[in-house]
Chains A and B, each alone.
Chain A
Amino acid sequence: MSLLNVSDLHASVVTDDGAQPILKGLTLEVKPGEVHAIMGPNGSGKSTLANVLSGRPGYTVNSGTATLDGQGLLELEPFERAQLGLFLAFQYPVEIPGVSNMEFLKASIDSLARARGEEQPNTATFMKQVRELAGSLDLDPAFLKRGVNEGFSGGEKKRNEIMQLLLLQPKLALLDETDSGLDIDALKVVAEGVNRYRSAENGVVLITHYQRLLDYIVPDFVHVLSHGKIIESGDKTLALELEAKGYAWLT
């Protein structure tokens, strides 16, 4: 059974000039235990895919379906998608002054537990777990007291996304250009975090512009997205081929 099933998805972004079609019949199936990399040139629709699946306002789905564990995603509010087990690692994580990271993480984990009918974690145990996770990602635990992403460097913001991924343990992780803006050391930390998350039960969709990340997170499948459709799929060697030849030979 597939974990994520996207079928013939057509979607537009809402702009001042009206709706611009971006996704034009995208189909993608992710089974438990799989890592799929989605690559493609600028403007091919990579981030739109992540945004549409996670329910960001400003996009319109015109046709097609998307399910997670057999349940339809596209009619749901963003928080309901998260409660089903979807996670988006943001390309540009948002700064929220006044709401501490710890408070935010507790609100999140409590909401997810409630939605699943599970018990909410004990605060002291939870805080200890978060501090350990932060440490394991080279994040100073003092950050947890500060506002969400407030004053974080680009690399710290991305590591904070991975920390949330490890804490929330979603069924499916969508990583939207998590490698952008990272130096090689930060990239390794992020990749190590994603590899720690990987299991036989969950799935990863890795949206990336560059092959470099795939040296550290080895995908099972590589797809090339162009003009809103997947035009080529293969194994990890496809990424190397793209790196060598660019996108032009495909598009």
Chain B
Amino acid sequence: MADLTLPTTLATPDWLAGLPDAGSLPEVLEQALNSPAHRERWKYTKPGPFIAATQHPMIDPDISGESQNGVALNQSIDAPLAGFDLDQAPEAIARLCYADHVMTLDVSASTNEPIVLSHTGNTRPLLVRVAAGVSLTLLETADASDDAQQSIWIDLAPNARVQHSRNALNDAPSHWQYLNVRLQAGAQYQLNNHVAGCGSRRQDVHIIMDGQGAEATLVSAGKVDGNMALDQQVTLEHRQPRGQSKQTIHNIVANGGKCTFNGRIHIHEGAAGTDAQLSNKNLGMGEHATINTKPELEIYTDDVSCSHGATVGTISQDALFYLTSRGIDRTAAEALLSQGFLRQCINGPLADQALTALVGRAREES
């Protein structure tokens, strides 16, 4: 891989200028881009087109629910989020610099209705700040048919709760979603992610447990069929004690599809009493599916409970025999099993649309 470089010289926006290192931002980003750990994240997907597209023109996402009491949507920002780190996600920081403006959503009171974001194209970066003790339901759909990118930062103040559902089921030549979530003490964050492959889809998720007793749950169902690709890179950092995180990611890869998953859990020194779990299961179907999966653990403290595993397999022959022994033909039984595999990870307010797109049938009432 050649050196990773940003497309043009970038100007540091005023609101980032106060950060340490901001004076040498281009160098910081180039260095971060080319660090061995970061290059590893681009091992299975060509980074060039994604990095080049960070400077493409941007539009606002369609937003609804923003006029509720306690919600303020602005098209400017005066200061970076607390804990903002220029070293992380150089592509996403570059996008912040290229954007003509950045959107901010401040939520200072619990909302009755969800806030809905629809990305119909290449949308501007969004910073979401959820005040202490406030609950928010955030629904997000990717609806672009052309190349598009999204970059979102969510900051949860102490005891804030965010229920985030995200569907990326659109067909586009390329699509990149960057999501950064920072949880302060006692905050709770849940992401229900439903995703289909597209020409080349990349999802980066970085969750930072930055306060004691924070809880994060990530549940993701993906289907990559035909000549589609999906690359998911998840980093979960436990920086403070007694955090709990649970990640469950199921992907079906079929008929020449290509799927990459990298799940890194980093437990910092002093984050005692952490409970971190990650499970990534991949089901290969049809011919020539490519699956790369890598769970990574870095633990710098004792007294943690951590489990993580990745499996790659095909449909269970025992389960198949059980279903067919009840008169269900093989094709129907395989369909039931693959649907069941994904359905375990399809939940939340956007589940119905995801079930239709990924499983091909709505949830049956019983």
Q: Which A residues form the contact surface with B (CB < 8 A)? A: 54-57, 77-79, 81-83, 87-88, 90, 93-94, 96-100, 102-104, 106-108, 111-112, 115, 127, 144-145, 147-148, 164, 168
Contact = CB atoms under 8 A, between A and B. Distances in A.
A88 B325 contact: yes
Contact of A102 (B328, B339, B344, B364): B364
Contacts of A100: 364, 366
Interface residues of B, number: 26
B351 to A, nearest CB: 13
Interface stretch (B21-29, B86-94, B314-322): B314-322
Given A102-B366, A145-B366, A79 B327 contact: yes
A107 B340 contact: no
A148 B318 CA distance: 13
Nearest to A164: B326
B343 interface: yes
B324 A78 contact: yes
B14 interface: no
A115 B327 contact: yes
B341 interface: yes
Nearest to A99: B340
B332 interface: yes
A interface majority secondary structure: helix
Residue among B324, B327, B342, B344 with the highest chain A CB neighbour number at 10 A: B327
Given A79-B330, A97-B344, A104 B325 contact: no
24 contacts: A78-B325, A79-B326, A79-B327, A79-B330, A83-B327, A87-B325, A90-B322, A90-B325, A94-B318, A98-B340, A98-B342, A99-B337, A100-B364, A100-B366, A102-B364, A103-B364, A104-B323, A106-B364, A107-B326, A108-B327, A108-B328, A111-B329, A144-B366, A147-B340
B321 to A, nearest CB: 6
A79 B329 contact: yes
B336 A104 contact: yes
A102 B336 CA distance: 12
Nearest to B323: A104
A127 B366 CA distance: 7
B327 A82 contact: yes
B340 A56 contact: no
A83 B332 CA distance: 14
